[in-house]
């Protein structure tokens, strides 16, 4: 059986403007590799309801899972929940279980549970909550769309709550060989190797170090024995390469 697939949707003008560097995609990609869910696409969209809804609908039709990051806080521009509800054509209302979680959190903190904070208890009809052990405000899953916060520490905590509930596949393994020759030199033999091991992913990632052109060749797959065999062939093609 092929592995489940995934897409990541990053929401936020601050990412598109360059003001904030996204860390959540990098983290989640590593976690998905670990449990055998193949990441197929990453998108970044602005804080516009129509853009978020359109991306959600496109991605949820194409992949087993869609993970979103950002836009579920208490401010006016936190509209991811609204957009997801629109994408599914369901209502969005304050949920009593989410409201109770938040009310208890702010009571313990000695902070007012005001109207802005109550916005974070709004959930699309039919959603299941994703636990947030850091700031309490839950994320949610609606069918195959999993909506989480954009703050990296909170995002990671939500991912830890969510992933054990998902069915993965075969973990992805990889090995790397550094070749101190330009891609124009190695392209021919490398292409032949990729055809020979068509069940594996073989990528070439060029670099320049102290004026020397080279490439890191990364071989990925779910079968460690096949990766070992491909690496042995690669090393034989380029005997001066460094592991």
Q: Are residues 184 and 222 in the same domain?
A: yes
In the chain, the percentage of residues whose pLDDT exceeds 90 is: 96
Please indicate, yes or no, whether residues 41 and 115 belong to a single structural domain of this protein: yes
Range of the domain at 179: 173-237
Do residues 91 and 182 share a domain? no
201, β-bridge pairs: 220
Residue 240: which pLDDT band, with cuts at 50, 70 and 90? Answer: confident
Please say which residue of 165, 199, 229 terminates a domain.
Answer: 165
pLDDT of residue 1: 81
List of residues 6+ apart from 222 with CB closer than 8 A: 3, 36, 169, 170, 171, 172, 173
Is the per-residue pLDDT at 243 higher than 80? Answer: no
Mean residue pLDDT across the chain: 96
Residue range 198-212: mean pLDDT, rounded: 95
Residues 140 and 181 in one domain: no
158: domain CATH number?
Answer: 3.40.980.10
For residue range 50-65, what is the model confidence (pLDDT) as tens digits? 999 999 999 999 999 9
Average pLDDT over residues 37-45: 97
Cβ-contact 136, 154 below 8 angstroms: no
Asked, for residue 243, whether it belongs to a domain, the answer is no
From CA 179, how far away is CA 238, in angstroms rounded?
7
Number of structural domains in the chain: 2
> Where a domain ends, among 165, 188, 209?
165
Based on the fold, state whether residues 78 and 133 are members of the same structural domain.
yes
Assign residue 219 the CATH number of its domain: 3.30.70
CA 130 to chain centre: 16
pLDDT tens-digit series, residues 67-123: 999 999 999 999 999 999 999 999 999 999 999 999 999 999 999 999 999 999 999
Examine the domain organization and report whether 62 and 86 are in the same domain: yes
Task: Judge whether residue 216 has pLDDT over 90.
Answer: yes
Asked if residue 147 and residue 56 are part of one domain, the reply reads yes
Same domain, 152 and 184: no
Tell me: do 151 and 202 sit in the same domain.
no
Residue 165's contacts (CB-CB under 8 Å, 6 or more residues apart) are none
Do the domain assignments include residue 140? yes
Query: 223 and 159 in one domain?
Result: no
3-state secondary structure of 133: coil
Structure tokens at 192: 């032949």
Query: 183 and 129 share a domain?
Result: no
Domain boundary among 165, 182, 208: 165
CB neighbourhood size of 93 (10 A): 12
Q: Do 160 and 188 lie in a common domain? A: no
């Amino acid at each position: 059986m092929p592995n489940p697939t995934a897409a990541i949707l990053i929401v936020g003008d601050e990412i598109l403007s360059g003001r904030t560097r996204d860390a959540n995609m990098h983290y989640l990609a590593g976690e998905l590799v670990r449990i055998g869910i193949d990441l197929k696409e990453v998108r970044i969209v602005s804080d516009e309801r129509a853009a978020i809804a359109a991306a959600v609908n496109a991605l949820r039709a194409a992949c087993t899972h869609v993970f979103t990051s950002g836009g579920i806080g208490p401010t006016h521009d936190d509209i991811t929940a609204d957009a997801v509800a629109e994408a599914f054509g369901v209502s969005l209302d304050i949920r009593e279980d989410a409201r109770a979680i938040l009310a208890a959190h702010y009571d313990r903190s000695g902070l007012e549970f005001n109207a802005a904070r109550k916005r974070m208890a709004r959930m699309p009809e039919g959603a299941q909550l994703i636990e947030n052990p850091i700031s309490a405000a839950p994320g949610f899953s609606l069918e195959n769309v999993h909506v989480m916060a954009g703050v990296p520490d909170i995002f990671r905590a939500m991912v830890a709550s969510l992933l054990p509930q998902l069915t993965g596949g075969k973990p992805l393994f990889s090995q790397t060989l550094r070749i101190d020759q330009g891609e124009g030199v190695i392209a021919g033999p490398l292409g032949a190797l990729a055809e020979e091991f068509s069940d594996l992913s073989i990528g070439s990632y060029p670099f320049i170090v102290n004026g020397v052109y080279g490439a890191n060749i990364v071989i990925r797959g779910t079968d460690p024995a096949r990766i070992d065999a491909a690496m042995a062939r690669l090393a034989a093609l380029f005997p001066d390469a460094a592991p």
